[in-house]
Amino acid sequence: MDSEDIFEKVKGILKKDIDKDGKLKKICKLLADDVEHYDWVGFYLVKKERLVLGPYVGEPTEHTDIGFGEGICGQAADMEETFRVQDVTKEDNYLSCSVNVKSELVVPIFKNGEVVGELDIDSHEESPFTDEDEKLLEDICEEVAEIL
């Protein structure tokens, strides 16, 4: 499935008459099912300068509460920018969720100029993420910001 189709499906999910967590979980499932190299997909939501794990699809993680600046997720929130890490073994501050994870893409979600959450993608492949992945996820995060 191409990015446009996925993006349209996400917009459809966001219009459904279900609660916020239900929508976020459906988006995680859609991304994990429709993009082969997305092995773990989850949302972190900001609560008092911390990233708290919200809905996700994939293996359980012990990283359910991450401070700004900690790990790739915390760094992306602190610096307010997308982080595309093609080889997590080359990162000093990587918080390992699974020995299978080889790469990570983290996209902050902004509302009123503030980071209110993140979309975190882990892959079991090294260097799978493209500019198209980054653009798709940034577009999704703009839409998701409306419900946060």
pLDDT at 40: 96
Name the packing angle between helices 3-15 and 131-144 (round to 10°).
10
Q: Measuring CA to CA, which residue among 68, 46, 58 is closest to residue 148? A: 46
pTM for the full model?
0.94
pLDDT tops 70 at residue 92: no
Residue ranges covered by each domain of the chain: 3-147
Q: How far apart are the first and last CA of the chain?
A: 27
pLDDT tops 70 at residue 112: yes
d(CA 67, CA 52): 9
pLDDT at 100: 82
22-71 residue pLDDT tens: 999 999 999 999 999 999 999 999 999 899 999 999 999 999 999 999 99
Torsion region of 32: left, alpha or beta (phi above 0 gives left; psi -120 to 50 gives alpha): alpha
Q: What percent of the chain has pLDDT over 70?
A: 93
Decide if domain 3-147 falls under CATH 3.30.450.40: yes
DSSP 96-129: -S-TT--EEEEEEEEETTEEEEEEEEEESSSS--
What are the start-end ranges of the E strands in the chain?
Answer: 40-46, 50-57, 65-67, 83-85, 103-111, 114-123
d(CA 115, CA 102): 26
